[in-house]
Structures are given as structure tokens and as C-alpha cells.
Amino acid sequence: AQSVTQLDSQVPVFEEAPVELRCNYSSSVSVYLFWYVQYPNQGLQLLLKYLSGSTLVKGINGFEAEFNKSQTSFHLRKPSVHISDTAEYFCACSMIKAAGNKLTFGGGTRVLVKP
């Protein structure tokens, strides 16, 4: 079984400041890793994913994440946030050799961007 822990439930940040959202995972097998964003009253949307290769992954809207196998982490960063980045962010993983496409999500981190 696998689990995902998002260490911060809420992150307030000022506009144009950098933000880092922390994610750690636990799994007995190799996993793929994902970050999804949920804007108010909307469904989830994929920001980026790590499948293999370079450990630095770039996604949409200027976000990037770094996979660190030794620390079992997949932290999300953005160098300068906008008001429109106010949303809830979910880290997720799936087992590489599993049947089906089951995603295990973390508890989410609410980002509130202040002007």
C-alpha cells in the first residue's frame, strides 16, 4: 500500500513571492507521482507528473516539482505566484506495476495568495 503526506494544510503567500508545497510519499514499490490543482468549485486538473528521467519536472502555469527518491519527496514550487494561483493543490501517486490507474491522494494544501 502507498500513502501521500502533504505537510502543510494551508499556505498563505503574498503575490509575486515564491511558494513551495511539500509532499512526501510512502510505498513498498516504485510509484509515479503527480500534482493536481483544484480551483474553487471546479474539478481537479493535472499540473505535472513524474514518470521517469529528469527529476526536475516542469508543468503548466510556471510550476515545477523535484523528485527526490532518497527523501521520498516530490515538492512543488513556483518562483512567483499570482492571485489566480489561489487554489487547493493535491499530490498523488500511483503504483508503477499496478492494474488500473488508481491514484492515492494526499490531504491537499490550500494556497491563499494575498495582494
Partner 1 sequence: DSGVTQTPKHLITATGQRVTLRCSPRSGDLSVYWYQQSLDQGLQFLIQYYNGEERAKGNILERFSAQQFPDLHSELNLSSLELGDSALYFCASSVQDANTGELFFGEGSRLTVL
Let me know if 14 is exposed, middle or buried by CB neighbors in 10 A (0-12, 13-18, 19+): exposed
Shortest separation between residue 78's beta carbon and partner 1, angstroms: 20
How many other β-carbons are positioned within 10 Å of the β-carbon of residue 13? 17
Quick one: 8 or 15, whose CB is closer to partner 1?
8
Quick one: 2 or 15, whose CB is closer to partner 1?
2
d(CA 52, CA 32): 8
Contact 78, 102 (CB under 8 A): no
Quick one: 19 or 91, whose CB is closer to partner 1?
91
Quick one: 28 or 101, whose CB is closer to partner 1?
101
d(CA 86, CA 39): 7
Shortest separation between residue 81's beta carbon and partner 1, angstroms: 23
Shortest separation between residue 83's beta carbon and partner 1, angstroms: 22
Which residues of the chain form contacts with partner 1 (CB under 8 A)? 32, 36, 41-46, 49, 51, 90, 94-96, 98-108
Shortest separation between residue 23's beta carbon and partner 1, angstroms: 14
- CA dihedral (72, 29, 88, 58) positive or negative: positive
